[in-house]
Structure 1
């Protein structure tokens, strides 16, 4: 039996190109999911691995669709071979678990994927640091302006009910509770200025 495995990291990404290629390769059944490759404990991948029998072949487009970490990739490969099945990658034809060199090749390809991911994370962190240095603000926009925060705290200090303050500012009571809690914390930066 020829099985296919397709994966993308997020719900917004499209699996169709991978699925089409796996069908063209003759895969009779395709398992797919939208989960990060960092986690080797993916439901559809586990389901595929549990169903393997001797002589089956698992196809994927490239190694990083199967796993991002070289050790996860080797573990998956060992699970496949322990079942008497094989793993083949369409864009990396040198990966074929029937070869004597498959452990080494899979480790090297997995390592390269991990190295690439590390570079992406470093580049993202560097870009974020540069943006912050230029004054770019990250995170959600505050629900209340600085003036509204001061007004809310003054009204609370004057004895007005938290729910009335929240209602008049069109925010939840928990927003006002957090504001009140933050105001009592000495390191609170929200109320400075």
Structure 2
């Protein structure tokens, strides 16, 4: 059995073209959803994969309709393979795990995923350096302003309990405890 999966990112887009292509390609059961490919929570994709049996094929019009990046694509291909099924993309005929070259295709996609991950790490690091140079502060914002921290320390020194100071400043006692330890 050939299962088709179609996805669009927003309600403004139309699935009709994808569904027509999948129907023309011989898909006997179609799964469709209007949800971002950036999320792993795609119920119809999960249903399609869980419906696969040995010898079945999951088909898409294009791999970008299935996954946003190579890592996601590899994870989905792994799930399809675990079901004993194959995968085909209409727009990218070389992405066909039912062919003799399936292992080669998956290996090439794995190398691409590794390269893509490396490039993302490089771009993220470069962006972080640029942001720091512009004065962007990273990490969580302090729960207390410097003035509040000084007030908390003054009250602790005057004998107030951490719980009392925390309640007064509207923070958790752990915040006051960390502040107190930092000053010791």
Relative to the length of structure 2, the TM-score reads 0.69
After TM superposition, which residue ranges in structure 1, 4 or more long, deviate above 3 angstroms? 4-7, 13-19, 21-24, 42-51, 69-78
Q: Secondary structure at the match of 2:115?
A: helix
Q: Could you tell me how far 1:31 is from its partner in structure 2?
A: 7.9
Matches within 5 A, 1:1-193: 1-4=1-4, 14=9, 20=15, 23-24=19-20, 25-26=22-23, 28-30=29-31, 34-35=39-40, 48-60=48-60, 61-62=62-63, 65=67, 68=71, 72=75, 75-76=78-79, 78-80=81-83, 83=84, 85-184=85-184
Gaps of 5+ in 1: 8-12, 37-41, 185-193
1:77–1:87 Cα contact (<8 Å) kept: yes
In 2, the alpha carbon distance for the partners of 1:155 and 1:95 equals 67
Change (3 A) 1:180 1:44: farther
Q: How many pairs does the alignment contain?
A: 171
Change (3 A) 1:121 1:140: same
2:6–2:19 Cα contact (<8 Å) kept: no
Change (3 A) 1:35 1:70: closer
Relative to the length of structure 1, the TM-score reads 0.66
- Aligned-residue CA RMSD in angstroms? 3.7
Q: Which residue of 2 aligns with 1:187?
A: none
Change (3 A) 1:113 1:18: farther
